[in-house]
Structure 1
Amino acid sequence: MVSTVIWGTGNVGRAAIRAVEAHPALKLVGVLVHDPAKAGRDAGDLASLGYEVGVAATTDVDAVLSASPRAVVYAASGDLRPDAALADVIGVLRMGAVVVTPSLYALYDQRSAPPALQAEVRAAIAEGGGSLFVSGVDPGWGNDVLPLLISGLGSVIDAVRCQEIFDYSTYDQPDSVRYLVGMGQPMDYEPPMLAPTVPSMVWGGQVRLMARALGVELDDLRESVQRRPLETTVTTPEMGEFAAGTQGAARFEVQGMVGGEPRIVVEHVTRIHPSCAPDWPSPPSGEGAHRVIIEGRPRIEVTVEATDEGGNRSAGGNATAAGRLVNAIDWLVTAGPGLYDALDVPLRPAAGRLGRKHP
């Protein structure tokens, strides 16, 4: 079995623990946390498994990595600490481990990553014999393998649109919701996630990857950002009050332009309450969904709704993102050292897991 460490136990890390526990080819051997309050707690407790797995969380990175795990799921956030996240991953690659992570945005499409970054990662792989696969948390499969799979069902493709549509009121990252995305902030506040060039920096790689798979050359990337205020004050169960007049919804697109037209689009529509921006796309039910629309002949629309942790849609999205990463580990071990992307790593059936007891 592949000895596997989970580094970080936030939204993705919790789901990764459950995914590793369920995978017949993987064995959880370590859990790394940043918060000292989590240290000493069993992984099963942290991931709400309902039973203990016999692996206690620790803040001691050196102790866990000194045991030479074969794989590391790096689930620590890279939003506000991209250099530190990269340094962590580079260190693990130099030890020869397989690393899967959503935290290095520039490597969603590793071929279009900055040359200096590519060189640094490849040097670490050459030195240690590890491998790296980066896939998005929004989730990655919704912006790469799913739209590409569905595109193969049509005869004429005019445009590809990938949507994440979510109510953020139940999202378990209040700092990200309020400050990165700007919910509840004055309308003259510029949320870092919506600042010019940032959407393209984060999601542009996925647009480029789809373009490469579809065999088209992009003219460039363009961004479209819209924000709406709340008309009334709302109170959320997780994050408290959001005042009328402050930002209640945000919508942005990263558009891959071909022949002057937006042909490949990644779009996010986020709200803190369903009453804000009701004219924007909404999920069929509940608080969130991922949707792929293939404009062409025929027109194809597929909506995916995933739930986890008591029916939560945000948790469901995180779980599928973690599943894509965790389920790639045994393939990466067999494939050998390298820098991989979503076009390299197949999405495979869940062999050996049908009818298996839920972790």
Structure 2
Amino acid sequence: MIPTVVWGTGNVGRAAIRAVDAHPKLQLAAVLVHQPAKVGRDAGELAGLDRSLGVSATDDVGAVLAAGHRAVVYAASGDVRPDEALADVVRAVRAGAVVVSPALYPLYDHRNAPAEFRDPVRAAVEEGGGSLFASGVDPGWGNDVLPLLVSGLGSVVDGIRCQEIFDYSTYEQEESVRYLVGMGQPMDYVPPMLIESVPTMVWGGQVRMMARALGVELDGIRETLERRPLESTVRTRTMGEFAAGTQGAVRFEVQGIVGGEPRIVIEHVTRIHPSCAPDWPVPPDGSGAHRVIVEGRPRIEVTVEASDEGENRSAGGNATAVGRLVGAIDWLVEAEPGLYDALDVPLRPAVGRLGRNQKEEERA
């Protein structure tokens, strides 16, 4: 069993605890939290499980890393604290841990990452013998391994489009929804996630990885952006009221340009209510989905819907992204220390997790 730490217990961290607990080769060794109110609480409670896991949350990062646990799922947010997230990950890698995380956008494609992000991790790998695999919660597999797999089913590929289509009213992360993405803000408010060049910083690495895998050279990366206001005030279950006239929907694209045309596109279509921008793409169930469209011969379209924590599609997207990361830990433990991306790390079947897994049998 691989002793594994989950660092952070928000949307991603809750799913990570559940994923580590379910994995037959991993053992939940510690849970790190920031909020004092969570210290001492059982991991099962924090993860929304109906049972205790016998692991109490702690905020003592030094003690946890000093214990030499083999793996860390870094689930704390890097959206508004990228420098702090990088420092945390470097600290864990230097301690010799295999680290998986969605928090460091620039390192999704580490070969083209800025030196200020890449070099500290490389130095930590050399010093401590740990590893890092960074992949997204949007989810990463929907913008790299899935479209590439689907592209191989056709004879002619004219273009690849990866879509995230979501109603954010179910997303329980109000700070990100209101301020990072700008839902419910005046239309002259510029959300940090939508500042020019930021979408490319976040998703451009995945566009470059797909181009590398497809053997094409990009002319460059281009962004498009469209925003729509709410026509009437709406109220959400998790975040309260969003006023008429404020931002209610966002649609943007990060386009990989090949031969002067957008051939590899990552598109996000997000709303705070279905009534806003009804002419834009909508998910089959009205809540959320990820879609890959391969234009060519034949034209192939794949839509993935995932739910978790009830019928929460946003939580389902997080859970599948976490599944990809947590599922890579045992492979990374056997691999050489280093920096890895989605093209390096194989996507493997859920061995030992069909039906009653090994851990459930041991509990019985």
Aligned to 1:159: 159
Secondary structure of the structure 1 residue equivalent to 2:121: helix
* Bigger mean CA deviation after superposition, 58-67 or 211-220: 58-67
Q: Quick one: which amino acid aligns to residue 92 of structure 2?
A: V
Question: CA separation in 2, counterparts of 1:243 and 1:121?
Answer: 43
Question: CA separation in 2, counterparts of 1:117 and 1:309?
Answer: 34
Aligned 1:38-117 pairs, distance under 5 A: 38-117=38-117
Secondary structure of the structure 1 residue equivalent to 2:269: strand
Deviation at 1:106, TM superposition (A): 0.5
Deviation at 1:334, TM superposition (A): 0.6
Question: CA separation in 1, counterparts of 2:58 and 2:12?
Answer: 17
**Number of positions where the alignment pairs a residue of Structure 1 with one of Structure 2:** 359
Question: CA separation in 2, counterparts of 1:322 and 1:190?
Answer: 30
Aligned to 1:6: 6
Secondary structure of the structure 2 residue equivalent to 1:182: coil
Per-residue CA deviations over 1:171-220 (Å, capped at 9, x if unaligned) read 01101100110100111111111110110011100100100000011111
Q: Quick one: which amino acid aligns to residue 331 of structure 1?
A: W
Asked whether 1:239 is paired with 2:239, we answer: yes
Per-residue CA deviations over 1:280-334 (Å, capped at 9, x if unaligned) read 0000114100000000000000000000001110010000011000000000001
Deviation at 1:116, TM superposition (A): 4.0
Deviation at 1:115, TM superposition (A): 3.1
Aligned to 2:304: 304
Aligned 1:128-143 pairs, distance under 5 A: 128-143=128-143
Aligned 1:162-181 pairs, distance under 5 A: 162-181=162-181
Deviation at 1:65, TM superposition (A): 1.2
Q: Give unmatched runs, 5+ long, in structure 2.
A: none
Displacement over 4 Å in runs of 4+: none
Question: CA separation in 1, counterparts of 2:95 and 2:309?
Answer: 34
Aligned to 1:252: 252
Question: CA separation in 2, counterparts of 1:228 and 1:66?
Answer: 49
Asked whether 1:218 is paired with 2:218, we answer: yes
Asked whether 1:295 is paired with 2:295, we answer: yes
Question: CA separation in 2, counterparts of 1:36 and 1:256?
Answer: 44
Aligned to 1:15: 15
**Cα contact 1:33–1:39 (8 A) shared by 2:** yes
Deviation at 1:120, TM superposition (A): 2.0
Q: Percent identity?
A: 77
Q: Quick one: which amino acid aligns to residue 315 of structure 1?
A: A
Q: Quick one: which amino acid aligns to residue 163 of structure 2?
A: Q
Deviation at 1:273, TM superposition (A): 0.2
Secondary structure of the structure 2 residue equivalent to 1:318: helix
Question: CA separation in 2, counterparts of 1:60 and 1:208?
Answer: 38
Question: CA separation in 1, counterparts of 2:342 and 2:292?
Answer: 17
Aligned to 1:193: 193
**Cα contact 2:274–2:286 (8 A) shared by 1:** no
Question: CA separation in 2, counterparts of 1:148 and 1:208?
Answer: 12
Secondary structure of the structure 2 residue equivalent to 1:108: helix
**Cα contact 1:286–1:313 (8 A) shared by 2:** no
Aligned to 2:333: 333
Asked whether 1:148 is paired with 2:140, we answer: no
Aligned to 2:275: 275
Q: Give unmatched runs, 5+ long, in structure 1.
A: none
Secondary structure of the structure 2 residue equivalent to 1:169: helix
CA RMSD in angstroms comes to 1.0
**Cα contact 2:164–2:289 (8 A) shared by 1:** yes
Deviation at 1:117, TM superposition (A): 2.9
Question: CA separation in 2, counterparts of 1:112 and 1:199?
Answer: 15
Q: Quick one: which amino acid aligns to residue 38 of structure 2?
A: K
Question: CA separation in 1, counterparts of 2:13 and 2:286?
Answer: 24
Question: CA separation in 2, counterparts of 1:174 and 1:198?
Answer: 20
Aligned to 1:229: 229
- TM-score of the pair, normalised by structure 2: 0.97
Aligned to 2:125: 125
